[in-house]
Amino acid sequence: MKLAHFRIAPDDIVRFGALHDERGMIDGTDLLDDPDPSRIDLGINDRFNVDAPFLDRLRARLDAPGTRSPIPFEEVRLLAPVPRPGKVVCIGLNYADHAAESGMDPPASPLSFSKFSSNVVGPETCIPMPLGESDVDYEAELAVVIGRRAWRIREEDAMDHVLGYTCGNDLSARAFQFADGQWQRGKSCEGFCPLGPTITTREDVADPHDLGIRLRLNGETVQDSSTRQLIFRIPELISHLAAFVALEPGDVILTGTPPGVGFAKDPPVRVVAGDHLEVEIDGLGTLANTMS
């Protein structure tokens, strides 16, 4: 399944459902147990919990032809597939060639940092440029969405805790990042965690470690690699993180970016207002945003 939060023009009700054979969206909002399913902050974990009944109900609706007509795509506005994660955990320097272009040795263990959950925005959202000289940069990333609580688990069991995958862009204000000597401010400016377009559930991705990943800046491909190049693969990342913090359904892990980031180019490439950014990952779709 490809899961999504969305609105239907012209109303502002937030709905949750799944894509239906590329013909439209199936609304599953009425299948939720939330007391008020139009609010994205109520019962959010159950929407992503592989052990909760909602996902099975939605699958049954998708598999029952004629039970509900798809909503045409032209009437749908996609939102962030996880509108307000409990946690957004990011992994730094997780591609060896990206570490090399950054002038750093590959880490001996996963290097983690965070973004604020309020940084998350959806596809086609305009993202405000930070004030001042910020040297904004792009980072295409495979994002993992947790679907079962993970706490002190074995690496061999880690994939059982994955709901699915989506595209992410780990936008970074390099001037803030390098001036501060740590990454929080530079990684957490408003809107600096676009996700989307949908969550492709785990059963529909044959191998998350064999996906082409690209980023286009104003139509030009500036990053082009494969998740085969990940230093720390998804099971190791989940087990490592869950050793010190419990991961909950709806939490998001950004797994790192491949080479080609702007600050490492000669001359450096800086994202400016009006730039159009597209993250594309094989089988997951394309996440497009514009800086404003």
> Which pLDDT score, from 0 to 100, does residue 41 have?
56
185 φψ region: left (φ > 0), alpha (ψ -120 to 50), beta (else): alpha
Q: What is the mean pLDDT of residues 192-209?
A: 98
Q: What is the pTM of this model?
A: 0.95
> Which pLDDT score, from 0 to 100, does residue 40 have?
55
Kindly indicate the confidence band of residue 45, based on its pLDDT and cuts at 50, 70 and 90: low
Kindly indicate the confidence band of residue 34, based on its pLDDT and cuts at 50, 70 and 90: low
Exposure string of 59-78, with b = 16+ CB inside 10 Å and e = fewer, is: eebbeeeeeeebbeeeebeb
Cβ proximity of 158 and 250 under 8 Å: no
Q: What is the mean pLDDT of residues 148-161?
A: 98
Kindly indicate the confidence band of residue 46, based on its pLDDT and cuts at 50, 70 and 90: confident
Kindly indicate the confidence band of residue 272, based on its pLDDT and cuts at 50, 70 and 90: very high
Q: Average the pLDDT over each of 26-30, 32-36, 122-126 and give the range with the smallest value.
A: 32-36
> Which pLDDT score, from 0 to 100, does residue 104 have?
77
Q: Is pLDDT of 19 > 70? A: yes
Kindly indicate the confidence band of residue 44, based on its pLDDT and cuts at 50, 70 and 90: low
Q: Average the pLDDT over each of 19-33, 67-81, 124-138 and give the range with the smallest value.
A: 19-33
> Which pLDDT score, from 0 to 100, does residue 99 have?
79
Q: Is pLDDT of 116 > 80? A: yes
Kindly indicate the confidence band of residue 39, based on its pLDDT and cuts at 50, 70 and 90: low
pLDDT above 90 covers a percentage of the chain that reads 83
Average pLDDT of the chain?
93
> Which pLDDT score, from 0 to 100, does residue 199 have?
98
Q: Which domains does the chain have, with CATH numbers?
A: 2-78 (no CATH), 88-291 (3.90.850.10)
pLDDT in tens, 258-268: 999 999 999 99
Q: Is pLDDT of 250 > 90? A: yes
